[in-house]
Amino acid sequence: MRTDHFIRFEHVDSVEEAEHGLLARLHGELLRIDAVRPDVVRLQLSRGGSFDPKPTYAVCVDPIAPDPDEPVAWRAERVDSDGEGAWRLVTDELVVTLWLDPFRVDVHRTDGSVVVESVPDSEGRYWTYATLNDAWTTRRRIGRDDAIYGLGEKGGHHNRRGRDFTMWNTDVLNEHATAEFRAGLDPDDPRSDMSSTEFDPYYVTIPFFYQRDATSGAAAGSFVDNGYRGEYEFSRDDEYRVTFHGGQWTEYVFAGPSMASILERYTWLTGRASLPPIWALGYHQCRWHAYSQADVERNAKRYRDDEFPCDGMWLDIDYMDGYRVFTWDSSRFPDPAGMLKGLSNQGFRTISIVDPGVKHDPGYSVYDDGLEQDVFCRTEGGDTYIGQVWPGNTAFPDFATPEARSWWGALNAKHVESGLAGIWNDMNEPATGEIAPQAMLFDKGRAKHERYHNQYALLMAMGTIEGLRAARPEARTFILSRAGSAGIQRYAANWMGDNQARWDHLWVSMPMACGFGLSGQPFVGADIGGFQGDTNPELFLRWMQMGALTPFCRNHSEINNIDQYPWSFGSEIHDLAREAVRLRYRLMPYIYSAFVRATETGEPVQRPLVLDHQDDPAVVDLDDQYLFGRDLLVAPVTEQGQTSRTVYLPAGDWYDWHTGEVHPGGQRITVETPLERIPLFARAGSTIPMWAEAPASTDGYRPESIELHVFDPLVDGRWESVLVEDDGLTVAAEGGDADEPARLTTTVVVERTDGEVSVEHSTAGPGYAGHARTRFDVVHHAAA
C-alpha cells in the first residue's frame, strides 16, 4: 500500500463534549467519538464537514440509542499528560484518549491494557488519519507475536498475521476479475494462482478483525463500517495498516477482552442469522449438469433406494431457458411443478440457482419489465450497464434502490410458486465476465460502483428475502449466497465458492469456515468433494466425513467432471459415506440447538479452538481441527493415505467418540484414522442430544424419544447443555407477536461432587404444533 503522498491530520483545533461523547474539529473536518456500549466505542470522521448517516447496510440497530437493560455511563474530561493536551472519554470498561498535538486516538481498557494505540513512523510522525483523493489510511501498534483473526472469507491460515489482504468481492476463478491481483507476482508466489489456497481476495469481504495480545491473551476488535475497497496490511513487525479507497472513517472498536464478547457485540450491531429451516441442515445433492426432469427424479429415487439420508436436491444454471433467470427449459423440464411436488412427497426440498444477471434480450419479459420499471444499473451517460455472464450480454438490477429490491423480490416470490423451497444466489460479487464492472453505477446513476460493489450480494439477498417472506410469511426462508459483506448472515447462508478437488482445499475449508464464523456468519460450508476437477474415492470419502460435521453440508461438482455421487466410487465408499451422513442426521438435535444459540448470541457453529480457549498458546495457530458446537472436537484427515494424525486436546477431558477412551486435555495425542472414520471427541461433562436413528430426511420426522448422551466428568464441577425443540419450519419458533417462542428448551445439568455424578434436566416453553417426543433416553458414557 503506497501512502507516501497522503496528507496526514496532525492537529486538533477544538474539542467539546457532545451528546454521546466527544466532538472535535481538525483540518476542516469533524471527529466524533461516541460511547456505544461500556466496551464499544465508535470513531467517525466527516467528509466535507458532514457525516454519512448510513455508510453501508451492515449495521441494523441504532448503536447509540439508549438501552434500558445496559445503560452506558460515561464522562468526558480534559487532561494534560507530559505537557501534551488531551481529552478522555471514560466508560466503565474503556478509556479513549484524544491527543491534540500531534493528533492521535488511543483506546485502553480501564486496567490500562491496550485496545488500540497509535504508532509513530521512523520520523516520529503519527498516521492516525491521512487522506488522498477520497482514500484514507491509518496505522496502529501491534505486538511482534500478536495474532489476527477474522476478515470473513480469506484463504491461507486462520491466523492472518504476516499477510496482507484486499477487501474486494471477486469472482475467484475469473481470469479477468483476478488479473489485477495476480499482475506482477512471481510465478512461484502462490497468490499468482487463482486456485491457490493463498489467493486473495475471495468472494466475501468483512472488514472486522480481532487482535489477540500474545502476552496476555486478551483480544480487541475492530469493525470498519465501509463498503469501499480496502486493504489490511498485517505483514509488518510492529504496526498494522488499514486503507480504504473511499467513504468515511466509521469504525467500531471493541474492548473485549474475550473474543466471544467481541463477537456478541459485533453481531448485535450487524445482526444475527435467522432460524434456519431444519431441512437446510440436512445433506444436499448438487451438480452443475444439464439435467433433465427424469435425471433429477432418478437421482432422488437412488438416494431413497440406497437409504442414504438426503434433504435437498439442487438445480444449477442448466435448468433455465438459455440462462434466463426465472425461467425453465421446457424441453428438459416439461412439468416443473409436478416434479417439485413429487420430490416433496418423497421428503426432498428443491433449490434453484438465480443469478443477478438478466439477459439483454428484448422480448424476454424479465428484461423488458426491468427496463420499463427502471430498475437496472446505469452508466454515467445514462445507458443500461451491460456485463457478460452466462446468458451473454446482461443487465444488472440496481439493488441499491428499494424499488429494484422489491421488483426482484416479487420475481422470486413468483418463482417459488412452482414449489421451490429456497433460492441459491450465485455470481453476485457482482461477476461481470470479460467486461469491467466499474462503469456499473448504482442508485439510479448517482453512486459510483465502488460504493456498492462489496454490498451487492447483501442487497440482492435483502430483495430475495423480501419476496420469499411475502410469498410464504409463515415459513422460514433459505437463501445461499456466494458473495457477501458484513450483515449477510441476517439473510443468507454462504458457501465457499468454486473450490478444487484437492487435499489442500479440503484443509483450507477449515480455517475459511472458522474465519466466517468469527465474522458473524454461522451458516457456511464448502462444496464436498471439490467443485472443480476430478475427485477420487479417498478424497471424496474424507471430505464427506468432514462435511457431515460442518454447518452446511452439500455435495457439489462442476460439469464435465467425473461423477461424484455417493454411489460413484463403489460400495465401500458409498457405505462409509452413508455412515458419515447418518451420524450427521443422528446429531441433528445437537446441530439444531447450536444454530439456535448462533441466532441468539452470534456464537458460531463451526469455530476455531482459540474462540473457546483464548488463553491457550497452543491453539493460536491451530487450523487443522475445529469445534463443532461447544462440545464436539473434529480433526479431519487432510492427506492422502493418512492412517493416523496428531490431535491437540484443549483444557478439560475428552472422550474418543469411536472408542470411548478418555484423554486429559492440554496435550497432543496420536489417533488412528482408518478409512471408516475421522477423529471425533466429546467434551467430558457435556450432554449431546441425538436421534436414535437417522431418518431418510428431516421431513415429517417426529421421533417419540431423544437420546441424551451424557459424558461423565472426571473432576468435580458443573456442566450445562441445552436442547431446543420446535417445528423446524415456521417462524413461530422465533416468537414474533407471541408472548413466547413456540419451542421447548431443555437444560441438562451434569454435576460431579466428591466423585458422584448427577444429571438433572428441566424443560421450559409453551411447546409447538406437532411435538411428539414423550421421553428422553439417557445414554451414559463413563470413563470406567
User: DSSP labels for 455-473?
Assistant: THHHHHHHHHHHHHHHH-T
User: Using alpha carbons only, how large is the chain's radius of gyration in Å?
Assistant: 26
Give the active site residue among 39, 297, 450, 498. 498
- pLDDT of 81 higher than 80: no
Residue 82: is its pLDDT beyond 90? no
**pLDDT at residue 71 tops 90:** no
User: 111: which 3 cell numbers?
Assistant: 486496567
**Model pLDDT for residues 364-379, shown as the tens digit of each residue:** 999 999 999 999 999 9
Catalytic residue among 316, 429, 653, 725: 429
**Three-state SS sequence of 305-359:** HCCCCCCEEEECHHHCECCECCCCCCCCCCCHHHHHHHHHHCCCEEEEEECCCEE
Regarding beta strands 219-224 and 249-254, do their DSSP bridges make them parallel or antiparallel, or are they unpaired? antiparallel
Among this protein's residues, is 426 annotated catalytic?
yes
> Average of pLDDT values for 246-258?
98
pLDDT, tens only, 605-636: 999 999 999 999 999 999 999 999 999 999 99
Q: Which amino acid is present at 674?
A: P
Give the least confident one: 323-332, 566-575, 645-654, 735-744. 735-744
User: Which of 423, 427, 488, 432 lies closest to 462, judged by CA?
Assistant: 488
Average pLDDT value for residue range 685-696:
98
The pLDDT value recorded for residue 674 is: 98
DSSP 62-112: -TTS--TTS---EEEEEEEETTEEEEEEEESSEEEEEEETTEEEEEEETTS
Phi, psi (rounded to 5 degrees) for 401: -105, 140
pLDDT at residue 80 in the model: 84
CB 702 within 8 A of CB 691: no
Question: In 3-state terms, what secondary structure has residue 141?
Answer: strand
Task: Find how far residue 324's CA is from the centre of its chain.
Answer: 29
pLDDT value for 770: 94
What number is the average pLDDT over the span 405-419? 98
pLDDT at 2 over 90: no
With a cut of 90, say whether residue 737 has pLDDT above it. Answer: no
Q: What is the DSSP string of 164-217?
A: EEEE----TT-HHHHHHHHTT--TTSGGGSTTSTT----SBEEEEEEEE-TTT-
Q: Please provide the average confidence, as pLDDT, over all residues in the chain.
A: 97
Average pLDDT over residues 37-46: 98
Burial of 444 (0-12, 13-18, 19+ CB in 10 A): middle
CA distance 92 to 426: 45
- Decide if 417 is catalytic: no
Q: Taking 80 as the threshold, does the pLDDT of residue 1 lie above it?
A: no
- Spot the catalytic one: 171, 231, 398, 426: 426
232 in Cβ contact with 248 (< 8 Å)? no
- pLDDT band of residue 735 (cuts 50, 70, 90) is confident
Where residue 50 falls among pLDDT bands split at 50, 70, 90? Answer: very high
pLDDT at 739: 78
**Cα separation, 540 vs 83, whole angstroms:** 66
pLDDT in tens, 83-119: 789 999 999 999 999 999 999 999 999 999 999 999 9
State what percent of residues in the chain have pLDDT above 70. Answer: 99
- Dihedral (Cα; 278, 557, 488, 44), 10-degree rounding: 150
Cα 648 to chain centroid distance, Å, stands at 25
Residue 457: which pLDDT band, with cuts at 50, 70 and 90? Answer: very high
Average pLDDT over residues 440-460: 98
Q: Which helix (H) or strand (E) covers residue 495, if one does?
A: strand 493-495
Say whether 498 is catalytic: yes
Omega before 713 cis (within 30°)?
Answer: no
Predicted local confidence at residue 466, as pLDDT: 97
736 pLDDT above the threshold of 80 = no
Model confidence at 345, pLDDT cuts 50, 70, 90, reads very high
